[in-house]
Every structure is written in C-alpha cells, then in structure tokens.
Amino acid sequence: MTTNENTGPTAPRLNFAKSAPKAFKALIGLDAAAREHLDPALVELVQIRASQLNGCAYCLHMHTSDARKAGESEERLHMVAVWREAAHFFTEREQAALALTEAVTRVSDAGVPDAAYGGAARHFDESELAALLALTFAINTWNRVALATAKVAGTDERAARR
C-alpha cells in the first residue's frame, strides 16, 4: 500500500522485481559485489545509517533485524543514529565508514567532503573503499526503490529478500 501524506494509505504500487527484473537483478549484483570485501557487521551499520537518513522504514527494519541475527547488540543499534555523539560504541573504522555513508547519502548537501573521503581512505584499502562506496550506492538505490514502491516495513521484506 502507498501512503498519501494527507489521507493515509492509497492503492498498491508496482512490484519492482517483477516489473523490471533486469534492473532488479543488476541491483542485486551490485549489492552482492559490494559486500564481498567488507565485514558483515559493517555492512549492516552502513545500510542502517543510510536507511535512517533516507527515512526508509522498510530497509531500516530489514537491516536492523539482520544485524540482530548476526549478533549486533541492541545498544549499538540504538546508537547508529547518533554515532558521532556515541562514538565510543564504534571503532574508528566504523566511524569512518559511517561518515562516508552520510556524505554519499547526503551528496546534494555538500558533495562528498575531502574529510569524509580521506577519513575512510585511511581505514580502508582501495578495494575495501570501492566496496564501501558501492555498498552505499546500492543501499541508497534500495531505499529509493522501497520508498517509490511503498514497501511496508515488517510485512513483506522476507518474501522479497535481495
């Protein structure tokens, strides 16, 4: 179901996977390739932060659930949204990844500042940095797919797993 900011739920929207299978498979490929060089816990933190910034409840529900299943603590999950103020919960590497994720996700605000890019480059080798960028590109695209097609958090993400 979609939502109308004034009246609430309206008619269902298209199923992107069925309506654009080649694009959907390409996005799955990008997502899978990006994960290859990164720690699974870091992957979830990046996906959670981008989903928070983009206001994507569907992806936020999915990735916080996946992070819990992978052993992530509730304490750290609660701190992702305020990671700068709660930096002691995260390693320097995680902080660098979160900073770059925010910069790329908010690229229209100020581009990707040298400080955010350089911070990540100090903690990730070139292949890891490229993977981190690709992961951020992928989650931002997934967020937009979920928002544009009005995916409902907690009801259908398991059926449409990437």
Q: Which stretches within the chain are classed as H helix?
A: 16-19, 21-35, 40-54, 57-69, 74-79, 92-105, 107-110, 114-123, 126-148
* pLDDT at residue 61, as a whole number: 97
Domain coordinates of the chain in residue numbers?
20-148
**Residue 11 has what pLDDT?**
72
pLDDT tens digits for 63-109?
999 999 999 999 999 999 999 999 999 999 999 999 999 999 999 99
- Spell out the long-range contacts of 72-77 with Cβ–Cβ below 8 A and sequence spacing 24 or more: 72/41, 72/44, 72/45, 76/45, 77/48
Angstrom CA distances, 95 to 13, 100, 121, stand at: 36, 9, 12
Per residue in 136-161, pLDDT (tens digit) is: 999 999 999 999 999 999 876 555 54
What's the gap between Cα 76 and its chain centre? 16
CATH numeric code, 20-148: 1.20.1290.10
The whole-model pTM stands at: 0.89
